[in-house]
Structure 1
Amino acid sequence: MKHDKPKYKQIIDAAVEVIAENGYHSSQVSKIAKRAGVADGTIYLYFKNKEDILVSLFQEKMGQFIERIQNATTSRQTPSEKLFTLIEKHFEQLSEDYHLAVVTQLELRQSNKELRLKINSVLKKYLDVIDEIVEEGIREEVFRENINRKLVRQMIFGTIDEVVTNWVMKEQHYDINNQAKEVHALVVEGLLKR
């Protein structure tokens, strides 16, 4: 598997920095290679092209996101607590890596339809995690049953995503982690069974 090769992670990490600093369109593969400390040709042993680097980077980082959320949530937690963990970990992971935040919030929003579809298919795994938490809340009769699940998922992800985008646009002049509790309270308030 190409992901096990030591240079794969090196290239991914270099790509995050180069794309964050220069923008996706101005990030030549040669710039990424130079930052990773590898020959240009080496990149093509791992990736087909620049688009493949962007999608792989997202896949890799989204995989880490999901892993961190799954490691931090336990069966003992209520659905509401799990949702808080998801929000908290999302903010934490991006506040720890500003370059990654710039890439996920700005550079991944490409107008190229094919690229968007690939990114959406990666994102689906994350949305599935949100769905599972909401479903559990409904099963345990903590969350209302008569909710539009698709809309709920869009609202939860959309809210988290917009809060991070705003933080990136304001050049992280404040600690985004302080907003996790409030975002959670607002989201859960709309889900709770009365």
Structure 2
Amino acid sequence: MSATQIEKRSQSQRREATRQAILEACKAIMSEEDFANSKTSTIAKRAGVAEGTVFLHFENKQGLLRALIDEVFATIHTNIEMIQQAHSCPKRRLRAMAEDYIQQLEAQWPLARLVVGNHARYGDEQTQQALHRHNRRYTQLFVDAFEDISQEEIDGHIPSPVFRDALFGAIEHFAIANFNTGKAHDSAQFLEQLWQLLFRGVLSREHSTNNQSSDLDHIDQKLDRLLNKLDA
């Protein structure tokens, strides 16, 4: 390797290090305040660079937002690929993907809320397109698993968009309502309840006619207890 090549490589490494420092500074600030209220001057100061350097790497604040969104989805996509390799059963694969998604939202909520919040959804055209592209890619993986299950286990037809909106709508609503709010919450319990709501009696052969009868008896018992309390 020539001296010129070494110098170019060194410059590239320094640029990447600066870029990462800016991203890390932005993520740190986002844990303290909302992205909309954050200032590039504050981000630059936290990163130890001039404010102009932020614009040199990201063009503008929306460019910085797109880089953060790319980072969130990169982790999600990587994890999904590993889950796909680990689970040949579509039902187990879908459950593992849903578990990972909610875990990722909780683990990096200050960053992940950009994905489920309004800053990206109503950002500039480039940001909206980037978010749409990412969303289509990863939600399609969930839909593919759902359709694999449908072919094996569903007697009737449930539209994939209905399943998609129910799954992601519930998870993202739970995340916004609970993560980083100080509220006590149980993500695992929520996911189990969501799973039962979406799949029990719809996608599970475990819900046979006998189970239906048993469930109706159980509901009747609950209603009887409720009526007894009201009469007391």
Could you state the TM-score of these two structures normalised by the residue count of structure 2?
A: 0.69
CA contact (8 A) 1:101 1:168 kept: no
Look up the match of 1:137: 149
Matched positions, count? 192
Taking the aligned partners of 2:62 and 2:111, their CA distance within structure 1 comes to 16
Residue 142 of structure 2 aligns to which amino acid in structure 1? Answer: I
Consecutive unaligned residues of structure 2, counting only runs of 5 or more, are 1-11, 206-232
Q: Is residue 2:172 matched to residue 1:161?
A: yes
String of CA shifts for 1:125-183, please: whole Å, max 9, x gaps: 111211221122234x1345612112221222112211111113743533424422222
CA distance in 2, matches of 1:110, 1:173: 28
| Secondary structure of 1:180 counterpart | helix
Alignment of 1:34-113 (within 5 A): 34-74=45-85, 76-106=87-117, 108=119, 110-112=121-123
Q: Is the 8 A contact 1:68 1:89 kept in 2?
A: yes
Contact 1:16 1:99 in 2 (8 A): yes
Give 1:49 deviation, angstroms.
Answer: 0.8
Output the amino acid matched with 2:199.
V
Please give the alpha-carbon distance, in whole angstroms, between the structure 2 residues aligned to 1:124 and 1:22.
29
Cα deviation 1:105-128 (Å, max 9, x = unaligned): 445355446344432222221112
Shift of 1:60: 1.4
Structure 1: distance between partners of 2:178 and 2:87: 32
* Higher CA-based Rg: 2
Paired position in structure 1 for 2:184: 173
CA distance in structure 2 between the aligned counterparts of 1:76 and 1:97, rounded to whole angstroms: 25
Runs (4+) off by over 6 Å: none
Higher mean displacement: 102-111 or 146-155 = 102-111
Instruction: Determine which structure has greater relative contact order: mean sequence separation of CA pairs < 8 Å that are 6+ residues apart, divided by chain length.
Output: 1
Q: CA distance change for structure 1 residues 159 and 37 in 2, over 3 Å: closer, same or farther?
A: same
Match runs of 1:18-33 below 5 Å: 18-33=29-44
CA RMSD of aligned residues (A): 2.9
Q: 1:64 to 1:162 in 2, by over 3 A?
A: same
Asked whether the equivalents of residues 92 and 177 of structure 1 are also in contact (C-alpha less than 8 Å), the reply is no
- Residues 136, 19 of structure 1: CA spacing in aligned structure 2 closer, same or farther, 3 A cutoff? same
Identity of paired residues, percent? Answer: 23
Please give the TM-score of this superposition, normalised by the length of structure 1.
Answer: 0.80
